[in-house]
C-alpha cells in the first residue's frame, strides 16, 4: 500500500512539474504568423515551391526555432537566425523580446542552402511591423549579415516555379539579371547514349515578361520589403552626412604618425645604403622610396581628405616598421629580442594609458584594438620564421596606434548598454554570423584561412565577453563587417553592393552623431571621391556594422519614421504601421495571411487553464486504473 501511495504522489509531482515547465517555456501573450512560399530547386534540378510558416512569439528570449520537412542543410538554419536578427534591426525591435519560428515544408527533397534567407527576413519584418504581405510577390536570395540580398543559383528554375504557382512578381538579387543555366542533352549513337551539358545565358527580366512575371532586382532587405508591402523602411531620401566637428583632432594624430613614419623611413634608408649587396641595397631603397612618395602624396591630401589620409598612413606605418626591423635585424643592429621588448613595452604603455571602464563606442574600439595588438604580439612570439614574426610585430604596433587614434575620439561617443544580457545578445549573434560565414566558405571549397583576420576578431570577442568588457561591441561590429565582405567576395557580388553602399547605410541610419561612426562614414565619402574601391568597401561595411550594434545599444532611443510610398506600379495597396516598440508589443493586426494566436499558459503562481485540467483528469483516471489493477493483482496472489 505504501508503494502505491508513493507512486501516486510521485506521479502527481511529475505531472504538475511537467505542466509548469512547459508553461514557462512557451508562456506567450501572443503568437503572430504568416505563410509565404519560397522558390527552390529540388535534388532532381527542378524548380519547386516550398511552404514556409513564419511565427513571432511574444514575450520571448531571442530563441530561433527551425524545422524543415523533408530536410535541409545547416546554411538554411544559419540564414534563419541571421534573418531574425536583421528583421529586428530594420524594424527597430528588441531581438531578445521575441521567439522566432521558421517551419519549411516541401513535397520534394530540397537542395540545402541559404536562398530563402531574404524571404524569411521580409516575413519576420512584416510580423514585427504589423505589415501586410502581398500574395502576388515571392523572391529568392540570401540574407547577408549587412542586410543585403546575396547571390543564389537556380534562378530560371525558381522563376518557372513561381510562374506555375501564380505569382506575378519575382524578386532576385541585384546583379543577377543575366543568368547562365545548364541545358542537358542526350544524343543516341547506335546502342550508345551520349549525355552533354551546355550553358546558355538568359535575361531573366525579359524572360519574365514573356511568361507574364515581373522580375525585379533588389539589393537589400529594404528594397525587397518595399515590393512586398509598399513600405519604405530605409532612409534613402535623407542626406546622410558625418558629424565632422571633431575632425580637428585628427590633425594631431596624423602629425604624430607622420613624425614616426619619417624617422622610420630615414633610418631605414641610412641602413639600406650600407648594404654590401647591390641587389638588396637597390631593392630596399626603391621600396622605401615608394613608401616615402606615398606618404608625401597623402600629406598633400590632408586638408581635403583628413580621415582617408590617417587611415592609409597607418598602413604605411605598418609597412615601414617591417622594412626597418628587417634591415636592423638583418644587419645585426638589433635582434628579435629587441623587437619583442619594443612591441611589449608599446602595448603595456598604451594599455596603462588607455585602459578605461567607460561604456561607450570609442572606448569599445580602443579596448578591442589593444587586445588585437596583444594577440598579434603572441603571434610574433610563436612565429616559426622571421618573415612571419616581423609581420605580426608590425600589425601589433599598428593596432597600438589605432587604439590611440580612437581614444582621441572618445568625447561625445555613444553611451552603450553594457549589461550582461546585451553583451550576450551581441556575442551570440557575432558567433552565429561567423559560423554561417565559415560554413559558406567551406561549402565553396575554400580554406578557412581565407578568412584571415576574422579569426583574430573571434578570439577577441571571446575574451571580451568572458571579461564582460565593452569591447564586445567593437568586436561584434568588426566580425559583422569582415563576414559580410568575405561573403560578397566569395559569391562575386562585392562590386554590385558597393555601388549601392549609400542605400545600405540608409537602412540603419538614425542621425548618429557618434564620432566613431562619423569617422568611417567620412572615410566612405572620401574614398568614394578618390575612387579607392577597396577602402570604399571596408568603410561601407564597417559603417553598416557600427550602426547595427548601435541600434542594439540605443534601440529605445530610436524612433525611425517609415514612409508608405504610393508611386509604385507593382503594389496597389499601402499600409500604415506604428514603429514604436510599445505598438509592436501590443498591436495584433489580423489580415488575410497573418494570424494572431493567444497561447494558454500555466505557472506556479497562476491557476491552471482548462486544457491543463483536462490533462490532469485523464492522467488521474489512468493512475486510478493502475492502482485498481495493482489491488486486484495483490488479491489474486
Q: Which of 377, 362, 349, 463 is nearest to 412 (CA)?
A: 362
For residue 173, the SS3 value is strand
Q: Are 509 and 402 in contact (CB under 8 A)?
A: no
User: 473 CB contacts (<8 Å, ≥6 apart)?
Assistant: 361, 364, 416, 426, 549, 553
In degrees rounded to 5, what are phi and psi of residue 434? -60, -45
Mean pLDDT of the chain: 81
pLDDT at 223 over 60: yes
Q: Name the DSSP class of 601.
A: -
Question: Cell triple for residue 112?
Answer: 540545402
Q: What is the pLDDT of residue 240?
A: 67
Q: State how far the Cα of 162 lies from the Cα of 39, in Å rounded to an integer.
A: 6
Residue listed under C-alpha cell 598579434: 376
Distances (CA, A) of 570 to 208, 210, 265, 392, 593: 14, 17, 61, 54, 19
Q: Are 117 and 110 in contact (CB under 8 A)?
A: no
Give me the mean pLDDT over the 399-422 stretch: 91
Give me the mean pLDDT over the 301-326 stretch: 94
> What is 30-232's CATH number, 3.30.230.10, 3.60.40.10, 1.10.760.10, 2.60.120.620?
3.30.230.10
pLDDT at 62 over 60: yes
pLDDT at 568 over 90: no
Q: Of how many residues is the chain composed? A: 637
% of the chain surpassing 70 pLDDT = 77
In 83-225, which ranges are E strands? 99-105, 137-139, 142-143, 149-150, 169-173, 178-189, 192-203, 214-218
pLDDT in tens, 371-407: 999 999 999 999 988 899 999 999 999 999 999 999 9
How sure is the predictor about 56, in pLDDT bands with cuts at 50, 70 and 90? very high
Q: Which of 35-39, 159-163, 236-240, 382-386 has the lowest mean pLDDT?
A: 236-240
Q: What is the pLDDT of residue 357?
A: 83
pLDDT at 599 over 60: no
Q: What is the pLDDT of residue 114?
A: 81
User: 432 CB contacts (<8 Å, ≥6 apart)?
Assistant: 78, 81, 82, 85
- What global pTM score does this model have? 0.82
Peptide bond into 59 cis (omega under 30): yes
Q: State how far the Cα of 107 lies from the Cα of 495, in Å rounded to an integer.
A: 37
Residue 179: strand pairing partners: 202
Q: State how far the Cα of 538 lies from the Cα of 543, in Å rounded to an integer.
A: 9
Give me the mean pLDDT over the 39-62 stretch: 86
For residue 524, the SS3 value is helix
- The count of other CB atoms within 10 Å of the CB of residue 387 is 11
Beta-sheet pairing, 169-173 with 214-218: parallel
pLDDT in tens, 437-453: 998 888 878 777 778 89
Q: Which of 151-160, 284-293, 525-534, 568-577 has the lowest mean pLDDT?
A: 568-577
pLDDT at 409 over 50: yes
pLDDT at 16 over 50: no
For residue 42, the SS3 value is strand
Q: What is the pLDDT of residue 429?
A: 95
Q: What is the pLDDT of residue 72?
A: 58
Q: Name the DSSP class of 603.
A: -
Q: Which of 24-28, 75-79, 236-240, 514-518 has the lowest mean pLDDT?
A: 236-240
Q: What is the pLDDT of residue 135?
A: 93
- The count of other CB atoms within 10 Å of the CB of residue 322 is 18
Q: What is the pLDDT of residue 46?
A: 77
How sure is the predictor about 473, in pLDDT bands with cuts at 50, 70 and 90? very high
Could you tell me which residue, 452 or 547, shows the higher pLDDT?
Answer: 547
Could you tell me which residue, 328 or 596, shows the higher pLDDT?
Answer: 328
Q: State how far the Cα of 186 lies from the Cα of 199, in Å rounded to an integer.
A: 15
Could you tell me which residue, 270 or 153, shows the higher pLDDT?
Answer: 270
Q: State how far the Cα of 205 lies from the Cα of 215, in Å rounded to an integer.
A: 5
For residue 66, the SS3 value is strand
pLDDT in tens, 31-50: 999 999 999 887 666 788 88
Q: Are 365 and 516 in contact (CB under 8 A)?
A: yes
pLDDT in tens, 515-543: 999 999 999 999 999 999 999 999 999 99
Could you tell me which residue, 350 or 583, shows the higher pLDDT?
Answer: 350
Q: What is the pLDDT of residue 320?
A: 96
pLDDT in tens, 83-128: 999 999 999 899 999 999 999 887 766 555 688 899 999 999 999 9
In degrees rounded to 5, what are phi and psi of residue 433? -65, -40
pLDDT at 574 over 50: no
In degrees rounded to 5, what are phi and psi of residue 305? -135, 65
Q: Are 490 and 440 in contact (CB under 8 A)?
A: yes
% of the chain surpassing 90 pLDDT = 56
pLDDT in tens, 600-631: 322 333 333 434 434 444 544 444 455 455 44
Q: What is the pLDDT of residue 274?
A: 92
- The count of other CB atoms within 10 Å of the CB of residue 51 is 14
Amino acid at each position: 500500500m505504501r508503494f502505491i501511495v508513493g507512486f501516486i504522489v510521485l506521479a502527481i509531482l511529475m505531472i504538475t512539474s511537467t505542466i509548469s515547465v512547459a508553461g514557462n517555456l512557451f508562456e506567450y501573450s501572443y503568437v503572430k504568423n504568416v505563410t509565404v512560399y519560397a522558390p527552390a530547386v529540388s535534388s532532381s534540378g527542378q524548380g519547386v515551391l516550398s511552404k514556409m510558416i513564419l511565427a513571432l512569439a511574444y514575450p520571448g528570449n531571442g530563441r530561433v526555432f527551425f524545422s524543415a520537412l523533408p530536410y535541409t542543410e545547416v546554411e538554411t538554419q544559419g540564414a534563419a537566425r541571421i534573418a531574425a536578427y536583421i528583421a529586428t534591426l530594420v524594424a527597430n525591435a528588441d531581438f531578445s523580446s521575441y521567439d522566432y519560428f521558421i517551419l519549411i515544408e516541401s513535397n520534394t527533397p530540397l537542395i540545402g542552402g541559404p536562398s530563402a534567407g531574404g524571404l524569411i527576413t521580409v516575413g519576420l519584418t512584416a510580423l514585427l511591423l504589423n505589415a501586410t504581405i502581398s500574395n502576388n510577390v515571392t523572391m529568392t536570395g540570401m540574407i547577408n549579415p549587412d542586410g543585403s540580398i546575396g547571390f543564389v543559383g537556380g534562378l530560371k528554375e525558381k522563376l518557372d516555379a513561381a510562374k506555375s504557382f501564380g505569382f506575378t512578381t519575382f524578386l532576385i538579387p541585384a546583379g543577377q539579371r543575366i543568368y547562365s543555366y545548364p541545358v542537358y542533352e542526350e544524343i543516341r549513337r547506335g546502342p550508345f547514349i551520349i549525355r552533354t551539358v551546355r550553358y546558355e545565358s538568359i535575361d531573366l527580366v525579359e524572360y519574365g515578361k514573356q511568361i507574364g512575371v515581373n522580375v525585379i532586382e533588389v539589393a537589400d532587405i529594404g528594397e525587397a520589403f518595399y515590393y512586398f508591402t509598399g513600405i519604405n523602411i530605409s532612409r534613402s531620401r535623407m542626406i546622410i552626412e558625418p558629424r565632422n566637428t571633431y575632425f580637428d583632432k585628427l590633425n594631431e594624430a596624423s602629425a604624430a604618425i607622420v613624425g614616426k613614419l619619417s624617422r622610420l623611413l630615414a633610418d631605414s634608408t641610412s641602413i639600406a645604403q650600407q648594404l654590401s649587396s647591390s641587389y638588396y641595397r637597390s631593392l630596399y631603397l626603391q621600396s622605401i622610396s615608394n613608401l616615402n612618395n606615398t606618404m608625401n602624396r597623402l600629406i598633400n591630401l590632408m586638408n581635403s581628405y583628413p580621415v582617408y589620409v590617417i587611415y592609409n598612413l597607418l598602413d604605411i606605418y605598418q609597412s615601414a616598421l617591417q622594412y626597418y626591423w628587417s634591415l636592423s635585424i638583418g644587419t645585426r643592429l638589433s635582434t628579435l629580442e629587441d623587437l619583442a621588448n619594443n612591441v611589449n613595452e608599446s602595448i603595456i604603455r598604451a594599455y596603462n594609458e588607455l585602459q578605461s571602464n567607460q561604456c561607450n563606442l570609442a572606448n569599445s574600439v580602443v579596448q578591442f584594438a589593444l587586445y588585437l595588438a596583444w594577440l598579434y604580439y603572441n603571434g610574433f612570439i610563436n612565429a616559426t620564421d622571421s618573415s612571419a614574426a616581423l609581420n605580426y610585430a608590425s600589425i601589433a604596433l599598428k593596432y597600438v596606434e589605432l587604439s590611440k587614434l580612437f581614444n582621441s575620439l572618445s568625447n561625445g561617443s555613444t553611451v552603450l548598454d553594457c549589461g550582461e544580457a546585451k553583451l550576450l545578445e551581441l556575442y551570440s549573434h557575432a558567433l552565429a554570423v561567423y559560423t554561417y560565414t565559415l560554413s559558406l566558405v567551406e561549402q565553396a571549397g575554400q580554406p578557412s584561412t581565407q578568412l584571415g583576420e576574422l579569426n583574430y576578431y573571434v578570439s577577441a570577442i571571446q575574451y571580451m565577453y568572458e571579461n564582460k568588457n565593452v569591447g564586445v561591441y567593437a568586436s561584434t561590429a568588426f566580425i559583422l563587417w569582415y563576414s559580410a565582405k568575405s561573403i560578397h567576395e566569395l559569391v562575386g557580388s562585392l562590386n554590385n553592393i558597393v555601388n549601392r553602399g549609400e542605400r545600405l547605410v540608409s537602412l540603419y541610419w538614425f542621425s548618429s552623431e557618434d564620432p566613431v561612426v562619423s569617422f568611417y562614414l567620412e572615410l566612405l565619402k572620401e574614398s568614394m571621391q578618390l575612387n579607392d574601391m577597396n577602402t570604399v568597401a571596408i568603410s561601407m561595411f564597417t559603417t553598416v556594422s557600427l550602426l547595427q550594434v548601435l541600434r542594439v545599444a540605443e534601440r529605445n532611443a530610436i524612433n525611425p519614421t517609415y514612409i508608405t510610398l504610393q508611386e509604385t506600379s507593382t503594389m496597389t495597396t499601402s499600409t500604415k504601421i506604428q514603429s514604436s516598440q510599445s505598438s509592436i508589443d501590443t498591436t495584433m493586426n489580423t489580415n488575410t495571411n497573418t494570424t494572431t494566436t493567444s497561447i494558454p499558459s500555466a505557472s506556479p503562481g497562476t491557476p491552471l487553464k482548462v486544457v491543463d485540467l483536462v490533462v490532469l483528469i485523464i492522467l488521474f483516471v489512468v493512475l486510478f486504473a493502475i492502482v485498481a489493477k495493482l489491488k486486484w493483482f495483490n488479491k489474486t496472489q
